[in-house]
Structure 1
Amino acid sequence: MGERHLRAVRGDGDDPDARAAAAAPGDGSPARGRRERDALDSLLTRVGLGDEDAYDALYSAVAGSVLGLAVRIVRDREMAEDVAQEVLVDVWHRAARFRPEAGSARSWILTIAHRRAVDRVRSEQAHATRLRTHGAVPESLPEEQESVVDSMQREWESARVRAGLAHLTDRQREALDLAYYRGFTHREVAEALDIPLGTAKARIRDGLLRLRDLWEVDR
């Protein structure tokens, strides 16, 4: 792709997959969600075959979600933009690995974004630790960013949470995995699972209530 990765991409109004993927969020109806999911799946599959026009359309459809997820994790807009650009370049190189039967294109792309953003935060924290060891702390590193990894460790690596997840239903566990292990918003969970937004929220809420009940019993 070369410099195509670095330029502002254009929409492709003649491509039915691009039109469906770029459609404004609807009312959460399963039919519309399915159409949008299928359109993104088709675009990513075409990208895996080297279709640059499909990449342009896919980029336009998911760039906002990728950036939003990166901002929530790294807590710095400029750094998040760098992460998002890296993710979208990575999508071009790795698209051939996408398998629609294993999950939606959006969840596949956002999982890459989540991992990239977490890696960036950990890298920045390690860099700050090295500077402190040598008596130099960067003024530009927000204090809140230094605590992000600790927070993620509690959320994503806690043995207590993992043990509790085993007691949830498959649907509750799947929704919580996307929301808390991968950083998806409620809407992104709904899109990834191809369910209405209200259903996604209910599964997450019920799962959290079940975990709370289990932890209270353990006290």
Structure 2
Amino acid sequence: MGERGRLRLHTEEAPVAAASAEELLSRVGAGDETAFASLYDLIAGPVLGLATRVLRNHAQAEEVAQEVLVEVWRKATRFAPERGSALSWVLMIAHRRAVDRVRSHQAVLDREDKVGRMDVQRPFDEVTESTMASLDQERVRQCLSALTELQRESIVLAYYNGYTYPEVAEVLKVAPGTVKTRIRDGLIRLRDCLGVDR
């Protein structure tokens, strides 16, 4: 049975192995975890390669690749085969994520440089910095979860991901003034929750 058993097993598995990325992505959209494992094997290498080329930092590229794979799992139903191949769609997501990471990192550097040259901090930066420096992360997490979703999204994008206010506004598709208000109100609520003195 040895050789014939292996041959039969290989033949039974052939449809899964032969499935195209498009077919697998369609099955992933229906919640098929086995299809996602096969899709992962097909796309993980190209995604990591693209992220590494854009970021030029393997550790960051691995983080971005993981984010992309999670996004593919969550948004598989949005794939439209008439617009292009599954791999192109996945690599477009990967490129966008990697470029966002570069921009985010650059925004942080630019902000630090500007603050260093002007020796002036943006309003509420002091609250954020003293909060992060003096309180443990668990308490901060709890207080962040007490904010409204809109406040939390704005603060996380601006202070944890390094986005500027206009970039946050673009990502959330709201006016820059709305972003400033959300962040200001959210930071006030954070300060009160954490007991940070003004």
TM-score, normalising length: structure 2: 0.51
Deviations 1:61-114 (A, max 9, x none): 110000000000011110000000000000001000112122110001000001
In the aligned structure 2, how far is the partner of 1:127 from the partner of 1:66?
25
Read off the aligned partner of 2:99 and give its amino acid letter. V
Contact 1:62 1:106 (8 Å CA) reproduced: yes
Greater helix share, structure number: 2
Cα-Cα RMSD = 2.1
The equivalent of 1:42 in structure 2 is 23
* Per-residue deviation, residues 121-158 of structure 1 (Å, max 9, x unmatched): 0000000111122339xxxxxxxxxxxxxxxxxxxxxx
User: 3-state DSSP class of the match of 1:50?
Assistant: coil
The runs of at least 4 consecutive aligned structure 1 residues that moved more than 4 Å come to none
* Contact preservation (8 Å) 1:17, 1:40: no
Which structure is richer in relative contact order (CA contacts within 8 A, separation 6 or more)?
Answer: 1
Summarize the Cα distance change of 1:127–1:17 in structure 2 as closer, same or farther, 3 Å threshold: farther
Gaps of 5+ in 1: 1-12, 22-38, 137-219
Shift of 1:54: 0.4
Structure 1 position 98 matched with structure 2 position 79: yes
1:57 pairs, out of 34, 38, 47, with 38
Identity of aligned residues (%): 56
Q: By how many angstroms is 1:14 displaced?
A: 5.7
Deviation at 1:19, TM superposition (A): 1.8
CA 1:14–1:115 in 2, change beyond 3 Å: closer, same or farther? farther
Equivalent residue for 1:20? 18
CA contact (8 A) 1:18 1:58 kept: no
Q: CA separation of 1:77/1:14 partners in 2, compared to 1, >3 Å: closer, same or farther? A: farther
- Alignment match, 2:95: 114
Relative to structure 1, the CA distance from residue 101 to residue 133 in structure 2 (aligned partners, 3 Å threshold; closer, same or farther) is same
TM-score for the superposition, normalised by structure 1: 0.46
